[in-house]
Amino acid sequence: MTSGESVTVPAPDRKRPHRLAVMLRSQMRNIAPFLTLICLFGFFAAASPSFATLDNLGNILTQISVTGIIAVGLTFVILCAEIDLSIAAIANVTGIAVAYFTLQESYVNIANVPMPGWAAILLALALCALLGLVNAFGLTVIGIPSFIMTLAMMQIAAGISALLVRGQIAYKVPPLVTTLGSTSIGGIPWIVIVAALMLLGGHLVLTYTRFGRYVYMVGGNREAAEYSGLNVKLILGSVMVISAVCAGIGGMLGVAHFGSAQQNEFDTYLLDSIAAVVVGGTSLFGGRGGIGNTIVGLFVLGVLNNGLDHVNIDSFLKILIRGLILLAALVINVYAQRLRERTAE
Amino acid sequence: MPAGVRPILELQEITKAFGGVEALRGVDFALSPGEIHGLVGENGAGKSTLMKIIAGVHSDFSGRFILDGRETRFRSVRDAHAAGIAMVHQELSVAPDLSVAENVFLGNQPTNRFGFVQWRRMAREAGEQLKRFGIDVDPMSRLGDLPIGLQQLIEIARVLFSGARIIILDEPTSALSPPEVERLFATLKRLRDEGTSIVFISHFIEDILRVSDVVTVFRNGRKVAETRAADTNKPALIEAMIGHGREALEETYTHDIMLPPPGEKPVVLNASGLSLARSLRDVSFDVRAGEVLGIYGFMGCGQLELARILFGKLKPDQGSLAIAGKQKAFRSTAGARRAGIAFVPESRRDMLFHQEPVYKNISISVLDRISSLLLKPSREREIASRQVEQLRIRPAAVDLDLGMLSGGNQQKVALAKWLSYPPRLLVLCEPTRGMDVGAKDDVIHIVRDLRAKGLAVIVLSTEPETVLSLADRIIVLKRGAVVREFSNERISKDRLLEAA
């Protein structure tokens, strides 16, 4: 706070505890997910001796990497108060495409088009960027709500996947992708490093660039952004493309990580990515949150998934518990929004 | 009111703070049955906050809230409704996609014993009520298709006929034409005579004096005066509001003022033959550097659409714009901004980011000038601080969330965002709506200053005073067409109203 303020606010000393309360309330969105994470971690550490080990921490990091890469782009989209339901399908089709353009073993029965590794990667990236552009076009030029547009894109991407693999499974991907997806350097999996770098990159873009500010402003009040002379459609279109490309990268590395490319391989990643972003405290109403929140959300989901394995819970119950945690996070999300609005009134 | 009548509502020692800023400090307020109680005060004086406490919008405050002699406390607007208290807020809140009748009966539609809505009865009663209020519309037409002024009247009508015994009206007349105001006042007086208590907030002090029985003056979160309307006058009220003799500021424009002859400076914007669906018909004008063009007309005359065409938000069906002689067809508001056009819409909500700090609100429109890729927050704060100082925005803290500022100060922020790198053409919609005398005066000075620097300014307003106080030349819009231009001649409020 600047010094100018103390002139206008009477008796600042008397107000201090109140200020702190106000600050805590306005930061509720960031504090609550972090507390959730600490509670979950504490619970599993107490419940299972094998949970809180360095090895297992590595496991968790690896398990959340693909979701993390996809969630980077989704964070941009949700900050703009839009949604992208096509991320998992785009990840899948990009992973399949990169395999499609790679020479497969002779027993793989796919009519594929072998190319040099770099060309396969570029073509796969171009494919996901193109699908993102189609999303952007539908949303901004035609004016289809993102929920519906990306729902259609989910089917379109799944359809392309189906046509490429025709029910078969491909295994080979270009060497670079194999390296980044399934090998380690100095004991740290490359995929964790890639996820960390992408999350860092996303954070830097959102926090320190003009484009990042525009994303927050468009999410905060789209009308005001437009009346401030921002090109809102360009910004919305950009986040849809960013989301698709992040999903595509996640898909390529994911295929290398799993060791195969096939239909419906990424289906669970749609819900996981949305959950990670929202559980972390990024507002579904736009304008609030960020990559930091997404990272906390990723860890909440990662710790939950991994921890439930360690305490030997009925795997069918696991699904229910995940659903309940997601519900709790959504409740907190809406509640934090309301608290903040009341503070800002 | 005869002395000794027990008040229907009594508030004692009310204090309310928003994020450490006190909006009300120990305010007492009493409302008698069958009285119209006028409230005046500058923006941020606490009038609206107090009324929102009464209407159950704000539930956390300190002090005593006594209704019908019993201490009580509303936890929500619903509690207030149940107690017979209803409020018309400053900003329109109607359901544009529902019919007029549904809007009139919003929340208490007549139903038969099976719980089904009785449409015919609802339409009939809504029509009758609106007719009593002087509004003759088809109750089954879609509300959003009506002019804004009429929508506002219907919203007021809904509250007036809701059967509430305490009715609060926050700036109800700002969007209404003079005959509509007359009808509103007649209805208010009739309701008062039937025993309803009415609180009436307005910046139009003549209106307050005409319609109120008692007037309370707020200043800086405190009640500074309460008097019978018959015992006071406008200068005295303004003095109480402002605190020292600044009544000269409140120009009434009942006398003639002289518009200057058109200048010789280059034309900045030329609009020719603009037409838009049912809103605008063949509107042409130009505006020169160093000139303020006023565009006046009643609510719904097409001003809002015209302003949005100028800023690239709407595309005209016909006609063209030329900036400095060059034809332009804006594909987005960003294009208009790049062409040097700045725009302040009539509603603050559409213009500002309430959850963001003041400096981000101010820097948003000039970010591409001060940073190419990376943000420069210190530069942004510097620019914002300068504007805050120049426009006397209070509190002068650029890191405070915008939502913490009062309405008038928010309006100044909406203007400030365009001034760090002055545009060629500034389009202002209702620049002084809902502002107090002091803030209005500030805005007038800012606009005159910009004009002196050679900016072209277009001021669009439904308030004659706003146009008269700012414009060098005035065009009058009526039902989407230019009906009169005043230039290089004498003009007064009467003549302007006559033309519209």
A46-103 pLDDT tens trace: 988 888 888 888 999 999 999 999 999 999 999 999 999 999 999 999 999 999 998 8
The residue of chain A nearest to residue B413, with distances taken between CA atoms, is: A228
Q: Is B493 on the interface with A (CB under 8 A)?
A: no
pLDDT top residue among A27 and B461 = B461
Residue A193: its H or E element: helix A190-208
Share of chain A above pLDDT 90, in %: 50
Indicate whether A235 belongs to any domain.
Answer: yes
Phi, psi of A157 (to 5 degrees): -65, -40
- Give CA B272 to chain center in angstroms: 30
Q: How many structural domains are present in chain A?
A: 1
Indicate whether A12 belongs to any domain.
Answer: no
Beta B292-296 vs B456-461: how paired, if at all? parallel
pTM comes to 0.76
A216 CA: distance to closest CA in chain B (Å): 9
What is the CATH number that goes with domain B9-248? 3.40.50.300
The range of the structural domain enclosing residue A276 comes to: 36-338
CA A226/CA A197 separation, integer angstroms: 32
Instruction: Give mean pLDDT, residues A94-120.
Output: 85
Indicate whether A8 belongs to any domain.
Answer: no
Record the tokens describing residue B338, joined without a space. 């790049």
Of the listed ranges A330-334, B38-42, B441-445, the least confidently predicted one is A330-334
Segment 350-389 of chain B within 8 Å of chain A by CB: 350-356, 360, 364-365, 367-368, 371-375
Indicate whether A4 belongs to any domain.
Answer: no
Question: Do the Cβ atoms of B223 and B203 come closer than 8 Å?
Answer: no
Q: What is the ipTM score, two decimals?
A: 0.80
For position B389, what pLDDT does the model report? 87
pLDDT in tens, B122-157: 888 888 888 877 777 888 888 877 776 778 888 888
Preferred mutation among B309, B356, B381 to probe A, highest tally of A CBs within 10 A: B356
Indicate whether A204 belongs to any domain.
Answer: yes
pLDDT top residue among A344 and A110 = A110
Q: Is A182 on the interface with B (CB under 8 A)?
A: no
Segment 232-261 of chain A within 8 Å of chain B by CB: 232-234
CA B159/CA B344 separation, integer angstroms: 31
Indicate whether A26 belongs to any domain.
Answer: no
Q: Which residues of B touch A10 (CB under 8 A)?
A: 22
Question: Do the Cβ atoms of B346 and B385 come closer than 8 Å?
Answer: no
Instruction: Give mean pLDDT, residues A316-328.
Output: 81
Q: Hey, are the CB atoms on A228 and B364 less than 8 Å from each other? A: yes
CA A145/CA B151 separation, integer angstroms: 28
The residue of chain A nearest to residue B398, with distances taken between CA atoms, is: A2
Q: Which residues of B touch A216 (CB under 8 A)?
A: 356
Share of chain B above pLDDT 90, in %: 14
CA A6/CA A28 separation, integer angstroms: 25
CA B439/CA B457 separation, integer angstroms: 19
Question: Do the Cβ atoms of A280 and A289 come closer than 8 Å?
Answer: yes
Segment 4-23 of chain B within 8 Å of chain A by CB: 17-22
According to DSSP, the residues that pair with B9 across neighbouring strands are B31, B67
CA B321/CA B285 separation, integer angstroms: 10
- Domain extent listing, chain B: 9-248, 257-499
Share of chain B above pLDDT 70, in %: 93
Question: Do the Cβ atoms of B304 and B346 come closer than 8 Å?
Answer: yes
User: Number of residue pairs across A and B with CB atoms under 8 Å?
Assistant: 121
Is pLDDT of B278 > 60? yes
Residue type, A49: P
CA B196/CA B33 separation, integer angstroms: 6
CA A23/CA B385 separation, integer angstroms: 23
CA B140/CA B126 separation, integer angstroms: 9
Is it true that B9-248 and B257-499 share their CATH fold? yes
Residue type, B165: R
B224 CA: distance to closest CA in chain A (Å): 19
Is pLDDT of A288 > 50? yes
Indicate whether A15 belongs to any domain.
Answer: no
Q: What is the DSSP letter of B401?
A: B
Instruction: Classify domain B257-499 at the CATH superfamily level.
Output: P-loop containing nucleotide triphosphate hydrolases (3.40.50.300)
Half-sphere exposure of A116 (CA within 13 A, CB side): 3
Secondary structure class of B6 (helix, strand, coil): coil
Instruction: Give mean pLDDT, residues A13-25.
Output: 58
Indicate whether A205 belongs to any domain.
Answer: yes
Question: Do the Cβ atoms of B457 and B423 come closer than 8 Å?
Answer: no
According to DSSP, the residues that pair with B319 across neighbouring strands are none
CA A303/CA A280 separation, integer angstroms: 13
Q: Which residues of B touch A18 (CB under 8 A)?
A: 17, 20
- The torsion of the CA quartet B483, B487, B489, B490, rounded to 10 degrees, works out to 70
Kindly report the average pLDDT of chain A as a whole number: 86
Long-range CB pairs of B462-465 (<8 Å, 24+ gap) are B462/B174, B462/B175, B462/B296, B462/B297, B462/B298, B462/B299, B462/B301, B462/B303, B462/B430, B463/B174, B463/B430, B463/B432, B463/B433, B464/B253, B464/B296, B464/B493, B464/B496, B464/B497, B465/B251, B465/B252, B465/B253, B465/B432, B465/B493
A337 CA: distance to closest CA in chain B (Å): 11
Dihedral (CA of B96, B101, B104, B105) sign: negative
Secondary structure class of B462 (helix, strand, coil): coil
Preferred mutation among A227, A233, A285 to probe B, highest tally of B CBs within 10 A: A227
For position A7, what pLDDT does the model report? 36
Q: Hey, are the CB atoms on A9 and B343 less than 8 Å from each other? A: no
A30 CA: distance to closest CA in chain B (Å): 15
For position A90, what pLDDT does the model report? 96
A135 CA: distance to closest CA in chain B (Å): 20
B364 CA: distance to closest CA in chain A (Å): 7
Q: Hey, are the CB atoms on B375 and A223 less than 8 Å from each other? A: no
pLDDT in tens, A190-234: 999 999 999 999 999 999 999 999 999 999 999 999 999 999 999
Secondary structure class of A119 (helix, strand, coil): helix
Q: Is B230 on the interface with A (CB under 8 A)?
A: no
Q: Which CATH number does the domain housing residue A168 bear?
A: 1.10.3470
For position B399, what pLDDT does the model report? 86
Q: Hey, are the CB atoms on A227 and B350 less than 8 Å from each other? A: yes
CA B188/CA B182 separation, integer angstroms: 10
Apex CA B452: angle with CA B450 and CA B456, to 5°?
60
Nearest beta carbon to residue A8 from set B349, B367, B394: B394
Helix axis angle, A146-165 to A87-100, nearest 10°? 30
pLDDT in tens, B377-419: 888 999 899 988 888 887 888 888 888 887 778 888 888 888 8
Query: How many CB atoms within 10 Å of residue A79?
Result: 27
Phi, psi of B295 (to 5 degrees): -120, 115
Question: Do the Cβ atoms of B65 and B146 come closer than 8 Å?
Answer: no
According to DSSP, the residues that pair with B306 across neighbouring strands are none
Residue B322 exposed, middle or buried by CB count within 10 Å (0-12, 13-18, 19+): middle
Query: CB neighbours of B73 closer than 8 A, spacing ≥ 6?
Result: B59, B65
pLDDT in tens, B213-222: 999 998 888 8
Q: Which residues of B touch A225 (CB under 8 A)?
A: 364
Q: Which residues of B touch A7 (CB under 8 A)?
A: 395-396
Record the tokens describing residue B248, joined without a space. 């000269």
Q: Is A337 on the interface with B (CB under 8 A)?
A: no
CA B96/CA A90 separation, integer angstroms: 39
Instruction: Give mean pLDDT, residues A240-259.
Output: 95
For position A78, what pLDDT does the model report? 96
Q: Hey, are the CB atoms on B374 and A208 less than 8 Å from each other? A: yes
